[in-house]
Structure 1
Amino acid sequence: MTQIGFYHLTRSGVADALPRLLARTVASGQKAVVWCAGKPLLQELDKALWQVSTPTWLPHGSEGTPCPNLQPIWLTTGEDCPNDARFLFLLENRSSADLSRFERVFDLFDGLDDAAVAQARERWSAAKADGHDLAYWRQEEQGWKRAR
């Protein structure tokens, strides 16, 4: 089954937290697809990823980008995955009926938004019922801490 990590954002927004996770993904030789719920966040992430210099530069593409199959990171508001990524990043309480086509899923949610936390709990319950391998990560002062 798919490994699904729930990432509870408590200290920063997704535009600050996501580049570090994507940098680790690309450094491990994997490709990523990022599913946003709306265009505003997609555009914010597009700008943020082009401006990242630490820990690394993060090349990426989205709709209209030539050669989408060659992009190490693909940003979309749909459920497309033209780069055949094995790592999926779900943002803005996105979910999908079929996560089994991915090796790993990163579900990032806003821990300061009660509705987002409640929706993450629902996604956790559904993923657990489907038999996926689950992990819960909480943002701490110095990075992420896995809760048992």
Structure 2
Amino acid sequence: MTELLFYHLQRRPLESVLPPILEKSLARGWRVVVQASSDERVDALDAHLWTYRDDGFLPHGTDRDGLAAEHPVVLTVRDHNPNGAVVRVLVERAPVPADAATYQRIVVMFDGEDDEAVAAARVTWREKKAEGFEVTYWQCDETGRWQKRG
């Protein structure tokens, strides 16, 4: 059964939340596809993942570089799975893919400061729960730790 994890971004921006999630996925041996809604966001995330830490980087590529099947993490705007990922991360209201049931885990990250993004996440939550997906809601507490709320 595919898990859908909803991450409510309030106290921390996507750029600080995404890398640890990707690192944990890679540590488990999982391949990941990150889907954004714009090429500009893909480009920004691509640059960020090479430089977010002084002591390392996160191995990844985009679906435009011709080697997507070889990358453990692929950034894209398309609804496809070019590297055989078992985890899909959706940012900027990227839609849950039609093949959602083929993933072990789908992470929906939404901006808690954007009322439209919150409303869209609620709709997606209800729809996917009604379809039988296992859904959980995660919120960052005052100390910066993620807490499961639902």
Query: 1:7 maps to which residue?
Result: 7
1:47-89: per-residue Cα shift (whole Å, max 9, x none)? 1100133785211011332432110000000012111000000
Distance 1:30 1:11 in 2: 27
Distance 1:70 1:97 in 2: 23
The percent identity for this pair of structures is 34
Counterpart residue identity of residue 63, structure 1: D
Structure 2 counterpart SS, 1:75: strand
Distance 1:94 1:64, change over 3 A: closer
Distance 1:106 1:54, change over 3 A: farther
- Could you list the runs of 4 or more consecutive aligned residues of structure 1 that deviate by over 6 angstroms after TM superposition? none
Structure 1 counterpart SS, 2:69: helix
Distance 1:114 1:43 in 2: 25
Counterpart residue identity of residue 146, structure 1: K
Query: 2:119 maps to which residue?
Result: 118
After superposing the two structures, state which structure 1 stretch, 126-135 or 61-70, moved more: 61-70
Structure 2 counterpart SS, 1:64: coil
Q: TM-score with structure 2 length normalisation?
A: 0.92
- Residues 6 and 135 in structure 1, CA contact (< 8 A), matched pair in contact too: yes
After superposing the two structures, state which structure 1 stretch, 110-119 or 135-144, moved more: 135-144
Distance 1:55 1:110, change over 3 A: farther
Distance 2:36 2:54 in 1: 23
Structure 1 counterpart SS, 2:74: strand
Q: TM-score with structure 1 length normalisation?
A: 0.93
Query: 2:76 maps to which residue?
Result: 76
Distance 1:56 1:80 in 2: 28
Query: 2:132 maps to which residue?
Result: 131
Matched residues, number: 148
1:98 is displaced (CA, Å) by 3.0
Aligned pairs for 1:48-127 (under 5 A) are 48-53=48-53, 57-95=57-95, 96-127=97-128
Distance 1:117 1:45 in 2: 22
1:125 is displaced (CA, Å) by 0.5
